Structure formats: C-alpha cells, structure tokens
C-alpha cells in the first residue's frame, strides 16, 4: 500500500516520526506504516512528563490486537507533554498518525540528532526495502 509520509517530518528506521512544532518543541509519533503493521491499537502507555530521554531510548509502549511494541525516542530531550487523549482513545493513532495521534513532545533537543534522521524521500525508499 502507498503511504503518505508528510515531507515536513523526519523519520527513523523504527518508524517513528518527529515534527518541529516551533519554539524548540518537537512532537513524536509513529508512522502510518507502523500503525498499519500493528493493526487496531488497543492501548498506549505514555512516558512521564519531565523525563530526560536519550536518542534511541524506549519511552512508550503501544499494544494492538497483533502485538506490543516499544516506541523509541528518535531524538534525545526532555518530555514536556504527552497526548493523554491516547490513553482513553488509542485508536486515534490508527485514524490520525501524523496529526492527532502524536505520543509526546520533546524540548531541549540536540539539533545534530535531527540531522541523523531520514526525510520523507529517504523513508519511502527505506520502506520499499522492508
């Protein structure tokens, strides 16, 4: 299936995305591809606010009818917000992975780590090899 990967996002090989929300705030979620692979998401465990996370650290968990998967921090920083809506309505991740289905927001990030992530074109090429 063809996926629509917004060009303004950065992507990881673990299928997370990062969005620059401005003012040094970066939102993190999982891609449409990841949501489809998981199937119907039934539970999301979010990280604590104010947690300091390193790039690649396990920070959240998502469960679906098929499996449970860890969500990794695509970049390091301090978690300043979580999407509490997902705790009661985890299906939002399937319905709107790039808009309403974000998991957490980071501040105090290392811009150099952003440069290590894939843009939409590279992510799409990566998906073709999956």
Q: Which of 67, 83, 78, 75 is nearest to 112 (CA)?
A: 75
Residue 40 lies in a domain: yes
Residue 1 lies in a domain: no
Residue 17 lies in a domain: no
Question: In residues, how long is the chain?
Answer: 130
**3-class state of residue 104 by DSSP:** strand
Q: What's the CATH number where 88 sits?
A: 2.40.50.100
Q: Is this structure's pTM higher than 0.85?
A: yes
Helix, strand, coil shares of the chain, percent, nearest 5, are: 20, 35, 45
Residue 63 lies in a domain: yes
Residue 115 lies in a domain: yes
* Total domain count, the chain: 1
Residue 116 lies in a domain: yes
Predicted local distance difference test score (pLDDT) of residue 22: 96
Predicted local distance difference test score (pLDDT) of residue 2: 54
Domain containing 74: what range? 24-128
Residue 86 lies in a domain: yes
Predicted local distance difference test score (pLDDT) of residue 130: 80
Residue 85 lies in a domain: yes
**3-class state of residue 90 by DSSP:** coil
Q: What is the pLDDT of residues 1-18, one digit of tens each?
A: 456 899 999 999 999 999
Q: What is the pLDDT of residues 49-78, one digit of tens each?
A: 999 999 999 999 999 999 899 999 999 999
How far is CA 94 from each of CA 35, 38, 43, 99, rounded to the nearest angstrom?
6, 9, 12, 11
């Amino acid at each position: 299936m063809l996926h629509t990967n917004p060009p303004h996002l950065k992507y990881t090989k673990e299928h997370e995305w990062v969005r620059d929300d401005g003012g040094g705030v970066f939102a993190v979620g999982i891609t449409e591809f990841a949501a489809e692979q998981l199937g119907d998401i039934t539970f999301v465990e979010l990280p604590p606010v104010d947690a300091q996370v390193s790039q690649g650290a396990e920070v959240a968990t998502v469960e679906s009818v098929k499996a449970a998967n860890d969500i990794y921090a695509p970049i390091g920083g301090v978690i300043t917000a979580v999407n509490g809506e997902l705790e009661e309505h985890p299906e939002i991740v399937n319905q709107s992975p790039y808009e309403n289905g974000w998991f957490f927001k980071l501040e105090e990030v290392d811009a150099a780590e952003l440069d290590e992530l894939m843009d939409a074109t590279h992510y799409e090429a990566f998906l073709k090899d999956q």
